[in-house]
Amino acid sequence: MERIERQRPGGARVRGSRLGVCHSAPPQRLTRVFDTPILAWQRLETEPLDAAYYVLLATGEEQVLWINQRAPQEPKIGRCVAAAKLLPELCPPIVRADTTRTRLEYPYLITRYLPSPTLADAWPHLDERARARAAEAWGRTLRALHHVRADLAGDLAYPESEGRRLGDALEAQWQRALVHAVKDHMVDTPKLTRALQRGLETVEGAPIALCHGSPNADALLFDPPRGRVVKVLNWFDASRADPMVDLAAIYFTDLAARGVQKAFLRGYGPLSVWERERLTFYQLHLTLLGYARALTHLPHQIARYRLQLAERLKDRPPL
Protein backbone atom coordinates (compact mmCIF):
# COMPACT_ATOMS: atom_id res chain seq x y z
CA MET A 1 0.00 0.00 0.00
CA GLU A 2 1.52 3.32 -1.09
CA ARG A 3 0.50 6.56 0.60
CA ILE A 4 -0.03 9.67 -1.50
CA GLU A 5 -1.53 13.08 -0.83
CA ARG A 6 -5.29 12.81 -1.07
CA GLN A 7 -6.98 14.68 -3.87
CA ARG A 8 -10.69 15.03 -4.39
CA PRO A 9 -12.45 13.05 -7.06
CA GLY A 10 -14.94 14.69 -9.36
CA GLY A 11 -18.08 13.19 -7.94
CA ALA A 12 -17.52 11.40 -4.64
CA ARG A 13 -17.23 12.89 -1.20
CA VAL A 14 -13.98 11.68 0.33
CA ARG A 15 -12.92 12.17 3.92
CA GLY A 16 -9.60 11.83 5.64
CA SER A 17 -6.25 13.50 5.05
CA ARG A 18 -4.63 10.79 2.93
CA LEU A 19 -5.59 8.46 0.15
CA GLY A 20 -4.04 5.01 0.19
CA VAL A 21 -3.44 3.63 -3.29
CA CYS A 22 -3.48 -0.15 -3.67
CA HIS A 23 -1.38 -1.95 -6.29
CA SER A 24 -3.01 -5.35 -5.79
CA ALA A 25 -5.46 -6.81 -8.30
CA PRO A 26 -8.48 -4.52 -8.63
CA PRO A 27 -12.01 -5.74 -7.91
CA GLN A 28 -13.74 -7.46 -10.80
CA ARG A 29 -16.23 -4.62 -11.15
CA LEU A 30 -13.37 -2.26 -12.05
CA THR A 31 -12.01 -4.52 -14.77
CA ARG A 32 -15.51 -4.80 -16.20
CA VAL A 33 -15.83 -1.02 -16.44
CA PHE A 34 -12.34 0.01 -17.59
CA ASP A 35 -10.94 -1.28 -20.89
CA THR A 36 -7.41 -0.04 -20.11
CA PRO A 37 -5.28 -1.99 -17.59
CA ILE A 38 -5.38 -0.58 -14.05
CA LEU A 39 -2.07 0.19 -12.32
CA ALA A 40 -3.50 1.28 -8.96
CA TRP A 41 -6.86 1.82 -7.35
CA GLN A 42 -8.50 2.81 -4.08
CA ARG A 43 -12.05 2.62 -2.82
CA LEU A 44 -13.23 6.03 -1.67
CA GLU A 45 -15.62 6.90 1.12
CA THR A 46 -18.91 8.18 -0.24
CA GLU A 47 -22.58 8.24 0.70
CA PRO A 48 -23.88 5.08 2.41
CA LEU A 49 -24.58 2.21 0.01
CA ASP A 50 -22.99 3.98 -2.96
CA ALA A 51 -19.48 3.13 -4.15
CA ALA A 52 -16.64 5.23 -5.54
CA TYR A 53 -13.12 4.34 -6.68
CA TYR A 54 -9.98 6.24 -7.59
CA VAL A 55 -8.28 4.52 -10.54
CA LEU A 56 -4.82 5.05 -12.08
CA LEU A 57 -4.78 3.62 -15.60
CA ALA A 58 -1.80 2.25 -17.51
CA THR A 59 -2.05 5.29 -19.80
CA GLY A 60 -1.26 7.51 -16.82
CA GLU A 61 -4.79 8.88 -16.65
CA GLU A 62 -6.37 9.30 -13.22
CA GLN A 63 -10.11 8.82 -13.08
CA VAL A 64 -12.89 8.37 -10.56
CA LEU A 65 -15.73 5.86 -10.84
CA TRP A 66 -18.98 6.53 -8.96
CA ILE A 67 -21.61 3.76 -8.82
CA ASN A 68 -25.23 4.59 -8.04
CA GLN A 69 -26.03 1.62 -5.81
CA ARG A 70 -28.17 3.44 -3.26
CA ALA A 71 -30.92 4.69 -5.58
CA PRO A 72 -30.37 3.18 -9.05
CA GLN A 73 -33.93 4.00 -10.04
CA GLU A 74 -33.26 7.74 -9.64
CA PRO A 75 -31.72 9.64 -12.58
CA LYS A 76 -28.67 10.77 -10.61
CA ILE A 77 -26.27 10.09 -13.48
CA GLY A 78 -28.53 12.00 -15.86
CA ARG A 79 -28.51 15.01 -13.56
CA CYS A 80 -24.71 15.08 -13.56
CA VAL A 81 -24.62 14.86 -17.35
CA ALA A 82 -27.23 17.60 -17.74
CA ALA A 83 -25.35 19.86 -15.33
CA ALA A 84 -22.08 19.28 -17.19
CA LYS A 85 -23.75 20.33 -20.45
CA LEU A 86 -25.14 23.48 -18.87
CA LEU A 87 -22.03 24.50 -16.93
CA PRO A 88 -18.95 22.75 -18.35
CA GLU A 89 -16.66 25.32 -16.76
CA LEU A 90 -17.89 24.43 -13.27
CA CYS A 91 -18.59 20.69 -13.50
CA PRO A 92 -16.06 17.84 -13.33
CA PRO A 93 -15.13 16.60 -16.84
CA ILE A 94 -17.13 13.46 -17.59
CA VAL A 95 -15.30 10.55 -19.22
CA ARG A 96 -18.29 8.21 -19.45
CA ALA A 97 -21.83 8.00 -18.12
CA ASP A 98 -23.50 4.61 -18.41
CA THR A 99 -27.07 3.82 -17.40
CA THR A 100 -27.48 0.73 -19.62
CA ARG A 101 -26.39 -1.70 -16.85
CA THR A 102 -24.58 -3.84 -19.41
CA ARG A 103 -21.15 -3.69 -17.76
CA LEU A 104 -22.41 -3.30 -14.20
CA GLU A 105 -25.71 -4.02 -12.51
CA TYR A 106 -25.90 -0.35 -11.48
CA PRO A 107 -25.65 2.96 -13.35
CA TYR A 108 -22.21 4.54 -13.06
CA LEU A 109 -20.28 7.69 -13.87
CA ILE A 110 -16.57 8.17 -14.63
CA THR A 111 -14.99 11.59 -14.25
CA ARG A 112 -11.46 12.90 -14.48
CA TYR A 113 -9.56 13.03 -11.20
CA LEU A 114 -9.32 16.64 -9.98
CA PRO A 115 -6.38 17.77 -7.83
CA SER A 116 -7.87 20.74 -5.96
CA PRO A 117 -8.96 20.42 -2.32
CA THR A 118 -12.55 21.04 -1.38
CA LEU A 119 -13.41 24.21 0.48
CA ALA A 120 -14.14 22.05 3.55
CA ASP A 121 -10.60 20.63 3.43
CA ALA A 122 -8.99 24.02 2.84
CA TRP A 123 -11.03 25.80 5.51
CA PRO A 124 -8.93 24.93 8.62
CA HIS A 125 -5.86 26.38 6.90
CA LEU A 126 -7.45 29.75 6.03
CA ASP A 127 -7.17 32.83 8.22
CA GLU A 128 -10.19 35.01 8.97
CA ARG A 129 -9.76 37.27 5.95
CA ALA A 130 -9.23 34.30 3.60
CA ARG A 131 -12.35 32.64 4.99
CA ALA A 132 -14.40 35.74 4.27
CA ARG A 133 -13.06 35.79 0.69
CA ALA A 134 -13.84 32.10 0.34
CA ALA A 135 -17.41 32.62 1.58
CA GLU A 136 -17.89 35.44 -0.94
CA ALA A 137 -16.63 33.15 -3.71
CA TRP A 138 -19.06 30.50 -2.44
CA GLY A 139 -21.91 32.99 -2.75
CA ARG A 140 -20.88 34.16 -6.23
CA THR A 141 -20.71 30.57 -7.43
CA LEU A 142 -24.19 29.73 -6.18
CA ARG A 143 -25.60 32.93 -7.67
CA ALA A 144 -24.11 31.95 -11.04
CA LEU A 145 -25.91 28.59 -10.85
CA HIS A 146 -29.18 30.28 -9.98
CA HIS A 147 -28.91 32.51 -13.03
CA VAL A 148 -29.32 29.47 -15.32
CA ARG A 149 -32.82 29.70 -16.77
CA ALA A 150 -35.31 27.05 -15.72
CA ASP A 151 -36.09 26.13 -19.31
CA LEU A 152 -32.42 25.33 -19.95
CA ALA A 153 -32.35 23.20 -16.80
CA GLY A 154 -35.26 21.10 -18.01
CA ASP A 155 -33.33 17.82 -17.95
CA LEU A 156 -32.70 18.35 -14.25
CA ALA A 157 -36.34 18.24 -13.19
CA TYR A 158 -37.27 15.50 -10.77
CA PRO A 159 -39.56 13.12 -12.69
CA GLU A 160 -42.05 13.07 -9.83
CA SER A 161 -42.38 16.88 -9.92
CA GLU A 162 -42.41 17.33 -13.71
CA GLY A 163 -45.38 19.38 -14.85
CA ARG A 164 -46.64 20.09 -11.31
CA ARG A 165 -47.01 23.33 -9.41
CA LEU A 166 -44.24 23.98 -6.90
CA GLY A 167 -46.73 23.80 -4.03
CA ASP A 168 -48.13 20.48 -5.22
CA ALA A 169 -44.63 18.99 -5.42
CA LEU A 170 -43.81 20.21 -1.91
CA GLU A 171 -47.03 18.83 -0.45
CA ALA A 172 -46.32 15.45 -2.02
CA GLN A 173 -43.02 15.32 -0.12
CA TRP A 174 -44.77 16.01 3.21
CA GLN A 175 -47.49 13.40 3.03
CA ARG A 176 -45.68 10.62 4.87
CA ALA A 177 -44.01 13.00 7.31
CA LEU A 178 -47.32 14.54 8.36
CA VAL A 179 -48.90 11.14 8.92
CA HIS A 180 -46.05 10.34 11.32
CA ALA A 181 -46.36 13.77 12.96
CA VAL A 182 -50.05 13.20 13.71
CA LYS A 183 -49.11 9.98 15.52
CA ASP A 184 -46.29 11.72 17.42
CA HIS A 185 -47.93 13.51 20.36
CA MET A 186 -44.72 15.51 20.95
CA VAL A 187 -45.13 17.43 17.67
CA ASP A 188 -47.65 20.29 17.53
CA THR A 189 -49.29 19.02 14.35
CA PRO A 190 -52.00 21.74 14.00
CA LYS A 191 -49.39 24.48 14.28
CA LEU A 192 -47.10 22.63 11.87
CA THR A 193 -49.91 22.24 9.33
CA ARG A 194 -50.79 25.95 9.55
CA ALA A 195 -47.15 26.94 9.10
CA LEU A 196 -46.81 24.71 6.05
CA GLN A 197 -49.96 26.16 4.51
CA ARG A 198 -48.69 29.71 5.06
CA GLY A 199 -45.41 28.65 3.49
CA LEU A 200 -47.15 27.36 0.38
CA GLU A 201 -48.83 30.73 0.00
CA THR A 202 -45.47 32.45 0.45
CA VAL A 203 -43.69 30.49 -2.30
CA GLU A 204 -46.53 30.75 -4.81
CA GLY A 205 -45.03 32.26 -7.96
CA ALA A 206 -41.43 31.86 -6.78
CA PRO A 207 -38.79 31.88 -9.54
CA ILE A 208 -37.51 28.50 -10.68
CA ALA A 209 -33.85 28.05 -11.59
CA LEU A 210 -31.02 25.53 -11.64
CA CYS A 211 -30.40 24.34 -8.08
CA HIS A 212 -27.57 22.12 -6.90
CA GLY A 213 -29.37 20.41 -4.04
CA SER A 214 -26.56 20.40 -1.48
CA PRO A 215 -24.09 23.22 -2.23
CA ASN A 216 -22.06 22.82 0.96
CA ALA A 217 -18.32 23.25 1.42
CA ASP A 218 -17.73 19.56 0.61
CA ALA A 219 -19.16 20.12 -2.87
CA LEU A 220 -16.81 22.95 -3.88
CA LEU A 221 -13.28 22.50 -5.21
CA PHE A 222 -11.34 25.52 -4.02
CA ASP A 223 -8.12 27.27 -5.06
CA PRO A 224 -6.74 28.80 -1.82
CA PRO A 225 -4.04 31.05 -3.38
CA ARG A 226 -6.58 32.69 -5.68
CA GLY A 227 -9.49 32.45 -3.27
CA ARG A 228 -11.90 31.10 -5.84
CA VAL A 229 -14.12 28.11 -6.47
CA VAL A 230 -12.85 26.11 -9.46
CA LYS A 231 -15.38 23.27 -9.73
CA VAL A 232 -18.64 22.14 -8.17
CA LEU A 233 -19.07 18.44 -7.31
CA ASN A 234 -21.97 16.16 -6.43
CA TRP A 235 -24.70 17.10 -8.90
CA PHE A 236 -26.69 13.95 -8.12
CA ASP A 237 -29.58 15.90 -6.54
CA ALA A 238 -29.63 18.84 -8.95
CA SER A 239 -33.07 20.03 -9.98
CA ARG A 240 -35.20 22.91 -11.14
CA ALA A 241 -36.34 24.61 -7.96
CA ASP A 242 -36.69 27.86 -6.05
CA PRO A 243 -33.12 29.13 -5.44
CA MET A 244 -33.99 29.65 -1.78
CA VAL A 245 -34.15 25.85 -1.43
CA ASP A 246 -30.40 25.75 -2.12
CA LEU A 247 -29.74 28.53 0.38
CA ALA A 248 -31.84 26.83 3.05
CA ALA A 249 -29.69 23.70 2.66
CA ILE A 250 -26.58 25.58 3.83
CA TYR A 251 -27.56 28.94 5.35
CA PHE A 252 -28.59 27.59 8.76
CA THR A 253 -26.04 24.78 8.88
CA ASP A 254 -22.75 25.00 7.00
CA LEU A 255 -22.64 28.80 6.68
CA ALA A 256 -23.87 29.39 10.23
CA ALA A 257 -21.39 26.90 11.71
CA ARG A 258 -18.53 28.66 9.92
CA GLY A 259 -19.81 32.12 10.90
CA VAL A 260 -19.77 33.43 7.33
CA GLN A 261 -23.42 34.08 6.48
CA LYS A 262 -22.81 37.81 5.93
CA ALA A 263 -19.71 37.22 3.81
CA PHE A 264 -21.60 34.66 1.73
CA LEU A 265 -24.38 37.17 1.03
CA ARG A 266 -21.82 39.76 -0.07
CA GLY A 267 -20.98 37.34 -2.86
CA TYR A 268 -24.49 36.03 -3.48
CA GLY A 269 -26.19 39.39 -3.20
CA PRO A 270 -28.66 40.83 -0.67
CA LEU A 271 -31.94 39.00 -0.13
CA SER A 272 -35.28 40.71 -0.54
CA VAL A 273 -37.99 40.46 2.12
CA TRP A 274 -39.78 37.85 -0.01
CA GLU A 275 -36.60 35.81 -0.44
CA ARG A 276 -36.05 35.82 3.34
CA GLU A 277 -39.64 34.69 3.91
CA ARG A 278 -39.14 31.82 1.47
CA LEU A 279 -35.80 30.96 3.05
CA THR A 280 -37.44 30.73 6.48
CA PHE A 281 -40.16 28.49 5.09
CA TYR A 282 -37.70 26.14 3.37
CA GLN A 283 -35.83 25.82 6.64
CA LEU A 284 -39.02 24.36 8.12
CA HIS A 285 -39.51 22.26 4.98
CA LEU A 286 -36.05 20.68 5.23
CA THR A 287 -36.44 20.10 8.97
CA LEU A 288 -39.71 18.25 8.35
CA LEU A 289 -38.07 16.05 5.72
CA GLY A 290 -35.22 15.32 8.13
CA TYR A 291 -37.77 14.42 10.81
CA ALA A 292 -39.48 12.00 8.41
CA ARG A 293 -36.09 10.43 7.58
CA ALA A 294 -35.31 10.03 11.27
CA LEU A 295 -38.65 8.34 11.95
CA THR A 296 -38.00 5.87 9.16
CA HIS A 297 -34.26 5.23 9.31
CA LEU A 298 -32.57 7.17 12.15
CA PRO A 299 -34.53 6.75 15.39
CA HIS A 300 -31.65 8.12 17.47
CA GLN A 301 -32.15 11.51 15.76
CA ILE A 302 -35.91 11.82 16.34
CA ALA A 303 -35.57 13.87 19.54
CA ARG A 304 -33.22 16.34 17.83
CA TYR A 305 -35.62 16.89 14.95
CA ARG A 306 -38.56 17.31 17.35
CA LEU A 307 -36.68 20.13 19.06
CA GLN A 308 -35.79 21.69 15.71
CA LEU A 309 -39.41 21.57 14.56
CA ALA A 310 -40.53 23.25 17.78
CA GLU A 311 -37.91 25.96 17.24
CA ARG A 312 -38.95 26.51 13.62
CA LEU A 313 -42.61 26.85 14.64
CA LYS A 314 -42.00 29.72 17.05
CA ASP A 315 -43.66 32.95 15.93
CA ARG A 316 -40.92 35.28 14.72
CA PRO A 317 -40.26 37.55 11.74
CA PRO A 318 -38.41 36.10 8.73
CA LEU A 319 -34.63 36.06 8.86
Quote the number of domains for the chain.
2
CATH classification at residue 168: 3.90.1200.10
Q: Which residue has the higher pLDDT, 5 or 218?
A: 218
**Does 144 share its domain with 224?**
yes
Tell me which amino acid residue 277 is: E
The pLDDT of 137-160, averaged and rounded, is 74
For residue 274, give the 3-state DSSP assignment: helix
User: Domain boundary residue among 61, 92, 112?
Assistant: 112
**Does 59 share its domain with 178?**
no
Number of H helices, E strands in the chain: 11, 11
36-56 pLDDT, tens per residue? 999 999 998 776 678 899 999
pLDDT band at 83 (very low <50, low <70, confident <90, very high): confident
pLDDT band at 271 (very low <50, low <70, confident <90, very high): very high
Determine the Cα–Cα distance for residues 82 and 195; give it in Å rounded to an integer.
35
Q: Residue 316: what pLDDT?
A: 61
**Does 75 share its domain with 142?**
no
**Does 140 share its domain with 261?**
yes
Q: Which residue has the higher pLDDT, 286 or 259?
A: 259
**Does 189 share its domain with 95?**
no
Is 297 part of a structural domain of the chain? yes
Is 318 part of a structural domain of the chain? no
Q: In angstroms, what CA-CA distances link 305 with 44, 301, 313?
A: 30, 6, 12
Is 319 part of a structural domain of the chain? no
Q: Residue 247: what pLDDT?
A: 97
**Does 60 share its domain with 131?**
no
Is 270 part of a structural domain of the chain? yes
Q: Residue 19: what pLDDT?
A: 52
Tell me which amino acid residue 177 is: A
Q: Range of 209's domain?
A: 119-312
Is 265 part of a structural domain of the chain? yes
**Does 137 share its domain with 8?**
no
Is 179 part of a structural domain of the chain? yes
User: Domain boundary residue among 112, 137, 158?
Assistant: 112
Q: Residue 3: what pLDDT?
A: 31
CATH classification at residue 62: 3.30.200
Q: Residue 240: what pLDDT?
A: 83
Q: Residue 304: what pLDDT?
A: 85
pTM of the full structure? 0.82
**Helix 128-146 / helix 243-251 crossing angle, nearest 10 deg:** 160
Q: How far is CA 287 from the centre of its chain?
A: 16
Q: Which residue has the higher pLDDT, 296 or 207?
A: 207
Q: Residue 118: what pLDDT?
A: 94
**Does 261 share its domain with 140?**
yes
The conformation of residue 118, written as its DSSP 8-state character, comes to: B
**Percent of the chain residues past pLDDT 70, beyond the cut:** 80
The pLDDT of 188-216, averaged and rounded, is 88
Contact between 110 and 216 (Cβ < 8 Å)? no
pLDDT band at 184 (very low <50, low <70, confident <90, very high): low
**Does 132 share its domain with 150?**
yes
The pLDDT of 68-74, averaged and rounded, is 85
215-239 pLDDT, tens per residue? 999 999 999 999 999 999 999 888 8
Between 78-82, 118-122, 152-156, 197-201, the lowest mean confidence (pLDDT) is in 152-156
**Does 92 share its domain with 125?**
no
**Does 53 share its domain with 105?**
yes
Is 194 part of a structural domain of the chain? yes
Is 98 part of a structural domain of the chain? yes
Q: Residue 31: what pLDDT?
A: 95
Q: Which residue has the higher pLDDT, 285 or 139?
A: 139
**Does 236 share its domain with 208?**
yes
User: Domain boundary residue among 112, 128, 151?
Assistant: 112
Between 208-212, 246-250, 253-257, 276-280, the lowest mean confidence (pLDDT) is in 208-212
Q: Quick one: which of 286, 150, 278, 144 has its CA closest to 209?
A: 150
Determine the Cα–Cα distance for residues 250 and 229; give it in Å rounded to an integer.
16
Mean pLDDT computed over every residue of the chain: 83
For residue 108, give the 3-state DSSP assignment: strand
The pLDDT of 11-16, averaged and rounded, is 42
